[in-house]
C-alpha cells in the first residue's frame, strides 16, 4: 500500500478513526512503506512525508477576492430604503 492509499484508508474507515499509537504503528508496519515513511506517519510529521515523496508545496490556499464583482452587487435602486423597511414591519 502506498502512502497516499494509507492516508486515504485511515481517513475513510470509521474503525481506524481513533487509533492508538501502537495500533497505528502495527498498521503502518504492514503497509510496505520505507522506514522513513513509517516514522513520518507515526510521528504525524507531514513536512517530512512531503519531502520523502518529493511533493510540490501548496503555495496559496486563497481563492477569493475581497472586492465583489460588479454583477455580485445589487443595484442601489433595487435595495429597499429604511422607510420601506419600517412600513413592511
Partner 1 sequence: MNDTGSTSNNLNELTAKQGSLVCVGIGMLLGAHLTPICKSHIEDADVVFISGNNAFIKEWLSQLNNNVVDLQEYYQEGKSRSLTYDQMSEIMLAAMREGKKVVGAFYGHPGVFVTPAHKAIKQATKEGYFAKMEAGISAEDCLIADCGIDPGSVGLASFEANQFIRFKRQVDNSAYLVLWQVGVVGDCNLTRFSTGSEYRAVLVDVLLQHYPQEHPVILYQAATLAIEKTIINKLPLKDIIDAEVNQCTTLIIPPCKRLVVNKQVMEKLQQLDKQRTTPSLTAIK
Ligand X SMILES: C[S@@+](CC[C@H](N)C(=O)[O-])C[C@H]1O[C@@H](n2cnc3c(N)ncnc32)[C@H](O)[C@@H]1O
Residue ranges binding ligand X (CB under 6 A): 61-64
88's contact among ligand X, partner 1, none, with CB below 5 to 8 A by partner kind, is none
For cell 460588479, name the residue. Answer: 70
Nearest-5° Cα angle at 73, 67 to 77: 140
Q: How many helices and strands in the chain, by DSSP H and E?
A: 5, 0
Interface contacts to partner 1, rule CB under 8 A: 3-4, 7-12, 16, 41, 44, 46, 50, 53, 55-69, 89
Cβ at position 35, least distance to partner 1 in Å: 17
Amino acid at each position: 500500500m502506498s502512502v497516499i492509499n494509507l492516508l486515504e484508508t485511515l481517513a475513510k474507515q470509521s474503525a481506524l478513526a481513533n487509533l492508538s499509537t501502537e495500533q497505528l504503528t502495527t498498521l503502518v508496519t504492514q503497509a510496505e512503506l520505507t522506514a522513513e515513511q513509517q516514522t513520518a506517519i507515526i510521528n504525524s510529521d507531514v513536512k517530512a512525508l512531503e519531502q520523502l515523496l518529493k511533493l510540490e508545496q501548496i503555495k496559496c490556499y486563497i481563492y477569493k477576492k475581497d472586492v465583489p464583482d460588479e454583477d455580485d452587487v445589487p443595484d442601489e435602486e433595487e435595495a429597499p430604503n429604511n422607510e420601506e423597511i419600517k412600513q413592511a414591519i
